[in-house]
Amino acid sequence: MKTANITESPVDFSALLAEAEAGEPVLILRQGQPVARLVAEPARSAPFDLGALRDFVQAGPCHASPTVAEMRENNLL
């Protein structure tokens, strides 16, 4: 793991960010003591497919239990 001591010399944060993005964590030190760790943000997952959800809901039957139907009739929901 790379280290960067912020009190000894000017720090090139762009270079540190590039290393973190490449998967190499960077330990940030102040006067030789660790104070932070710079790591890459986890990759985002693919966006949710709303079209697939719509197709799934439209394809399947919707059955409400008698209890729910009764609660709706009695304005309890």
Note whether 3 and 29 are within 8 A (CB).
yes
The whole-number pLDDT of residue 6 equals 85
Q: Nearest 5°: phi and psi at 51?
A: -65, -40
What is the model's pLDDT at position 70? 81
Q: How far apart are CA 19 and CA 13, in angstroms?
A: 10
pLDDT tens sequence across 16-75: 999 999 999 999 999 999 999 999 998 888 888 899 988 988 887 766 676 777 888 887
Q: How many CB atoms lie within 10 A of CB 26?
A: 20
Structural domain boundaries of the chain? 2-38
What pLDDT does residue 61 have? 72
Three-state DSSP at 30 gives strand
Which pair of structure tokens corresponds to residue 76?
A: 């309890």
pLDDT of 64 reads 63
